[in-house]
């Protein structure tokens, strides 16, 4: 992935800056963005630029830097309106991933600036497809839209498909970050080095956390679709990915909290809420807070149901799974009871909110949940049925090795 390669270049530059005492070796979170900017700036300076030598570039910077002020840059924003993605090789601003898009050529026309800010690959679109289908079948009814009328789907499908595919693309990158964290592989001077790994993993995560959603928010803003609530839900997505990296990358000696685990499962369906809020915006409607609250608690129950269904697979692939977290925190003997308590509390809230819905709407939604449950797979829906806790895996490493041996 092009984006991942650019991130790796930044990490190498950061390590170099450390070795030259150019920056503090242990930056605080408030300094991480500054260090990243400096690394990008240095990478920009050493890139070939016509016949200019390094001395020429340093002379130009020294000559013109005093002329660059906040007001000068603010005036530049008039020429390039809207939120900018930050040049200097920002790995997640332009050309986030170029898989499946050929030579990366871009569109032209009046919207070219906005179009340049977020690109998606075919693989991400294919992965997003099942979520889009489930969203249309489960959420359109809350907007009074008839799923049997093609125009209801295709009118808004381009925007919904692009946003969900972009989110899936970032999710794929986050999975690579989790794999990097647990692989514990980093090289310095040709040797495996735990210290280098620790530094690299920490900064890798910081780089992923910084402005990963910005190209998408810029595009939505350019098209008049970005609202405060949509921006907040996208930030929730970034928080979920950070929690996923922390929880799935934790070693046996690291402590994880039940607060983090529950927060992660609550945030996991942020993409559904983004799509739902977008649909309100696309139709020019006010957001129905009752519907949003009901669907949010339903999403929580669906995510728990899916995690129970996918438990063994998630253990094998080291994916976030709420049951895995409960077993890790409470132990195998107590975990099922504690999870059942969380489910019961959510079901109680679900029942209360369902009574406030229009009866016909609730009946239609329940029918859809039952259909999804019968269909199975990862979009199996919650239908107020019975809950089954799968056999618990206490020693995950032993389970993975035994499954690998058997295969």
Q: Tell which wins on pLDDT, 51 or 301.
A: 301
Q: How many C-alpha atoms does 59 have within 13 Å on its Cβ side?
A: 5
Which one, of 34, 380, 384, lies nearest residue 203 by Cα? 34
Residue 374: predicted pLDDT: 82
**Per-residue pLDDT band at 380 (split at 50, 70, 90):** very low
Task: For 309-327, write each residue's pLDDT tens digit.
Answer: 999 999 999 999 999 999 9
| pLDDT (average), residues 249-257 | 88
pLDDT of residue 155: 92
Q: Is the pLDDT of residue 79 over 60?
A: no
Q: Mean pLDDT across the stretch 131-150?
A: 94
Q: What is the pLDDT of residue 78?
A: 54
Write out the two tokens for 200: 């690299």
Minimal CA–CA distance to 219: which of 119, 126, 362, 138?
Answer: 119
Q: Calculate what percentage of the chain has a pLDDT beyond 90.
A: 45
| CA pair distance 238, 170, nearest whole angstrom | 9
pLDDT band (50, 70, 90) for residue 25: low
The sign of the torsion formed by the CA atoms of 33, 34, 39, 41 equals: positive
The per-residue pLDDT for 335 is 97
The stretch 190-217 carries a mean pLDDT of 59
pLDDT reported for residue 179: 67
The model's confidence at residue 145, banded by pLDDT at 50, 70 and 90, is very high
How much is the pLDDT for 390? 95
Mean per-residue pLDDT over the chain, rounded? 80
- 106-120, 259-273, 295-309, 312-326: least confidently modelled range: 106-120
CB 294, CB 142: distance < 8 Å: no
**What's the pLDDT at 178?**
74
User: Whole-angstrom Cα distance, residue 96 to residue 85?
Assistant: 12
What's the pLDDT band for 340 if we cut at 50, 70, 90?
Answer: very high
Per-residue tokens: 142: 């809350």
Q: Tell me the DSSP string of 132-159.
A: HHHHHHHHGGGGT--TTSHHHHHTTHHH
Question: 10 Å Cβ neighbour count for 66?
Answer: 7
Burial status of residue 43 (CB atoms within 10 A of its CB: 0-12, 13-18, 19 or more): middle
Q: Is the pLDDT of residue 255 over 80?
A: yes
| pLDDT band (50, 70, 90) for residue 51 | confident
Q: List beta partners, residue 188.
A: 191
Lowest-confidence segment of 165-179, 287-301, 329-343 by average pLDDT: 165-179
Q: Flag whether pLDDT at 117 surpasses 60.
A: no
Q: Which residue has the higher pLDDT, 185 or 35?
A: 35
Residue 280 has pLDDT above 90, yes or no: yes
Closest CA to 219 of 278, 260, 271: 278
Q: How does DSSP assign 43-78, residue by residue?
A: HHHHS--TT--HHHHHHHHHHHGGG--HHHHHHHHH
Tokens (6 digits) for 129: 């497809």
> Dihedral of CA 83/89/90/95: which sign?
positive
Q: Give the residue among 199, 172, 194, 175 at the shortest CA–CA distance from 184.
A: 194
Q: What is the rounded average pLDDT of the residues 147-160? A: 90
- Torsion over CA of 84, 87, 90 and 91, rounded to 10 degrees? 100
Ordered by start, the domain boundaries in the chain are 2-287, 288-407
């Amino acid at each position: 992935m092009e984006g991942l390669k650019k991130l790796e270049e930044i990490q190498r530059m950061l390590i170099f800056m450390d070795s030259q005492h150019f920056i503090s070796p242990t930056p605080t979170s408030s300094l991480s963005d500054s260090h990243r900017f400096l690394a990008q700036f240095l990478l920009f300076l050493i890139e070939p630029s016509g016949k200019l030598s390094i001395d020429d570039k340093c002379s130009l910077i020294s000559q013109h830097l005093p002329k660059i002020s906040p007001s000068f840059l603010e005036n530049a924003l008039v020429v390039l309106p809207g939120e900018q993605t930050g040049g200097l090789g920002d790995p997640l601003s332009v050309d986030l991933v170029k898989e499946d898009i050929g030579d990366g050529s871009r569109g032209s026309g009046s919207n070219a600036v906005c179009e340049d800010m977020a690109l998606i690959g075919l693989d991400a679109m294919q992965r997003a497809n099942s979520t889009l289908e489930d969203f249309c079948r489960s959420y359109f009814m809350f907007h009074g839209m008839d799923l049997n009328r093609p125009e209801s789907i295709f009118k808004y499908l381009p925007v919904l498909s692009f946003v969900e595919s972009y989110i899936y693309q970032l999710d794929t990158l986050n999975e690579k970050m989790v794999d990097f964290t647990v692989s514990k592989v980093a090289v310095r001077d040709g040797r495996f080095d735990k210290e280098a790994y620790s530094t690299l993993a920490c900064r890798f995560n910081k780089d992923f956390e910084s402005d990963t959603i910005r190209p998408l928010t810029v595009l939505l803003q350019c098209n008049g679709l970005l609202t405060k609530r949509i921006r907040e839900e996208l930030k929730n997505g970034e928080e979920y990915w950070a929690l996923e990296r922390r929880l799935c990358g934790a070693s046996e000696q690291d402590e994880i909290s039940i607060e983090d685990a529950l927060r992660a499962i609550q945030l996991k369906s942020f993409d559904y809420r983004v799509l739902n809020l977008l649909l309100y915006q696309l139709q020019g409607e006010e957001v129905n807070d009752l519907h949003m609250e009901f669907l949010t608690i339903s999403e929580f129950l669906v995510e728990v149901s899916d995690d129970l269904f996918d438990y063994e697979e998630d253990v094998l692939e080291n994916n976030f799974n709420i049951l895995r977290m409960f077993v890790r925190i409470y132990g195998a003997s107590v975990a099922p009871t504690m999870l059942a308590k969380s489910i019961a509390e959510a079901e109680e809230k679900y029942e209360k909110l369902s009574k406030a819905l229009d009866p016909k709407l609730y009946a239609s939604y329940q029918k859809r949940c039952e259909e999804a449950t019968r269909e199975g797979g990862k979009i199996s829906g919650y239908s107020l049925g019975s809950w089954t806790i799968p056999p618990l895996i206490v020693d995950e490493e032993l389970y993975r090795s035994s499954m690998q041996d058997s295969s």
